[in-house]
Amino acid sequence: MKLKYLIVCLFVVLMSIVGQVSAQEPTPFIEPPIWEFDGLRIEYQRVNVAISDQVATTHIEQLFVNDNDWMLEGEYLFPLPEGAAVSQLTMWVDGSPIEAKILERDEAQQIYDEIVRQLRDPALLKYVGTQAIQANVFPIPPRDERRIEIEYTQILPADNGLIHFTYPQSSDLYTNTPLDEQSIRVEVQSNEEIRAIYSPSHAVDIFRDGDFRAVAGYEAFDVQPDKDFELYYTVSPEEIGLNLLSYKEAGQDGFFLLLVAPSVQVDEVVAKDVILVMDTSGSMEGEKMAQAKEAAQYVVDHLNPEDRFNIVAFSTGVRVYQSELVAASQPGDYSSFINGLEAIGGTNISQALLEAAAQVENGRPTTLIFLTDGLATEGITDTPLLLDSVQQATPDNVRIFAFGVGDDVDTLLLDSLTQNQHGTTSYVRPFEAIDEEVGNFYTKISTPVLANVHLEVDGVQVEQMYPAELPDLFAGTQLVLTGRYRSGGAAVITLSGEVNGRTQTFTYHDNSFRNSGGDDFIPRLWATRAIGHLLTEIRLHGEDAELVQSVVNLSIRYGIITPYTSYLIEENDIFSQTGRNIIIEEEMEDAAEPAPFTGSAAVDEAAAVGEMAEAEAPVAFATATAVPGTDSSVSGVAQTAVQYVGSKTFVLRDGVWMDTAFDSDTQTPQQVGFASDTYFDLLTAVPELGGYFALGQRVLVVVGDQVYEVVEGEGETAVVLPDATTDAGSETASVVTNLPATPADLGVDALPQPEPVANDSDSWLLYGLGGLALLVVVFIAGRLVTRK
């Protein structure tokens, strides 16, 4: 009887243990966060970065505001720059420190995948392949706010003196509402001399404090942060630093960018001549004349001791300060001459420019600053004849920099003058100050360090470089040069020029043009400059079918706004050669009438095209809205009709984001079901697809030799990977297969699923105890039977 009682007790214990085991919750790898952020607003985001000898400390402060009448739940995630070696992570919420951790890329990707599966929203996929900071900062009560601060340190690797910093924009993880305010400040200090400072992503203001410290600043309001903030800077002991960036896709020519920057403080300055040619016609009366006088005064005041100068004022006739060039060290009473100028009479441009050309001394670098607000009404008034006369009279050592004041200038004359003499044109609009524009310009070119610059690349074939004619180099400035190359490899780059009559040469070894990958902003920057150059040729010399075709092809591929760009947001066929030919024919027909060369529209076009030709950063479709010939509504539509991911451009067609590199004549897409197993398996195999798939639930993208189309439903059960992802020597491409994994896939009714079982150490202990209890029960029962 006692044995029977003992057996019952042991059985109860056994069942209790088993019950505990079965009641255990499963322990997942990462718990997917709740993601309910409707109505969340980020009032401000302030980023301060201190970089000291490649060690970057980033401090981020952002204010999250819940404008709802309900609580917001969620998980805080902050994606880190790809490959960043982050340390010393600190985080605060409303001033109090909290615990945060860094998720490795696999952990972070699991969270991103789960959110995409749950919400059917692929936007987070662009963060695939990155680490992330994770913390509990929510919930946020109704009508309340959370001030979140993060500080982390990372080491920025140097590549042959080039250092790259990235601040990842992540506000779209929580809200589609623009940031009320965003500011980014990066202070760089280095034991080595800092040369170039360059941002391809944002318009930054750069302040240099000698050769070893610099600050880059960016600030904007009501901003949609749709691209990461990137900053490059270079260090070099050379008097003129030169650094190479490149990008190449498989089977295509590559793109490169050269950053050339002299020291801020130089030992020897090139002596130069400066001739100011000032319009004093009656139309300059009033504020324009006062500002022009201020500009002339500023230029002469800031000449270097070895420089020479003169002033040529013109209206119906010409008035010259001195009969020949004057030494800056003994300038005379130039202030009285400038202050005595009056705005009266006509506009004799030809006589003024020919008088200035007659004073030029061959061989000595000469800067001619030409300022006018109108058309030629005296002397030679025919523009082609005037250009020809000036070009024949002006020596090659003269650089003409023109300032067109107001909207009544001859844009063809000004742009042709500066193109012929390797200068630039600036357009001073009615709301801008002449003295400020001229003063800012002269500050940059006041200290030349290398004239008549020439570049050679040995070891790699380069071509299609912009600017085609290299400008002189000036202390504290930088030259951004873009071009194409055939095949990657090592190269020696030689930079040469003249310093006070002597030839000086700089040689740079250990430059490597990439065979694949690289900095993916370079193709769009190169295309921006190429289109600006082509449009300038069309403006100055008339439309040509070959030039128009080049503009059309480049603007389609890289999504750059031009007078020929409406087809990007309209339902034109841009994915076949037939469709593109139709566009070109229509554009040539529309161009039968000559474009205006004066007036606000002409100035708008000239200024926009000039900015493209000299762009230091890629021009985005939605922001480059000043180009005439486009519908005034293009800007708003373009923000939703054109998107950029890396070097690719996507346009929206019938609800599908289509890669403009797609050729419907020769390529057939593989269909991938959105959020299917194949979809996620493909992302794991080719992480770069994350940025493309993040555009939406329907995307068509070209990757290497394959085309993928994300569709509704399951799509194909097996897709071929691009050649670049296959193993070397493999005869066939890799395949991602989506095998049937559920009863529904097999065509049968759903089967009951077992409860999840715990898999941690406590669960195994309980299993062990349960097994031991079962053995005891069996043993006692056996003894009982034996006794009987």
Q: What is the pLDDT of residues 709-729, one digit of tens each?
A: 999 888 887 888 887 543 333
Q: Between vectors from CA 535 to CA 602 and to CA 463, what angle results, nearest 5°?
A: 155
385 token code pair: 């004849």
According to DSSP, the β-strands at 205-208 and 213-223 are antiparallel
Q: Between vectors from CA 106 to CA 101 and to CA 108, what angle results, nearest 5°?
A: 50
pLDDT digits (tens, 9 = 90+) for 28-87: 334 444 455 677 888 999 999 999 989 999 999 999 898 888 888 777 888 887 767 777
Q: Mean pLDDT lowest for which of 83-87, 417-421, 637-641, 778-782?
A: 778-782
CB 570 within 8 A of CB 384: no
pLDDT digits (tens, 9 = 90+) for 213-264: 999 999 999 988 878 999 999 999 888 999 999 999 988 999 999 999 998 8
Burial of 693 (0-12, 13-18, 19+ CB in 10 A): buried
According to DSSP, the β-strands at 273-279 and 308-314 are parallel
Q: Which residues contact 339 (CB under 8 A, 6 or more apart)?
A: 293
Q: Is 601 left (phi over 0), alpha (psi -120 to 50) or beta?
A: alpha
Length of the chain: 788
Tokens 């966060």 sit on residue:
33
Among 763, 255, 246, which residue's Cα sits nearest to residue 464? 255
> Which string of DSSP letters, residue by residue, matches 238-297?
SSEEEEEEEEE-TTS-EEEEEEEEE-SS-S-----EEEEEEE-SGGGTTHHHHHHHHHHH
Q: At what angle do helices 383-393 and 411-420 cross, to 10 degrees?
A: 20
* Between residues 180 and 716, the one the model is more confident about: 180
Residue 113 one-letter amino acid: D
pLDDT digits (tens, 9 = 90+) for 610-661: 999 999 888 765 433 333 343 333 333 344 678 889 899 998 888 999 999 9
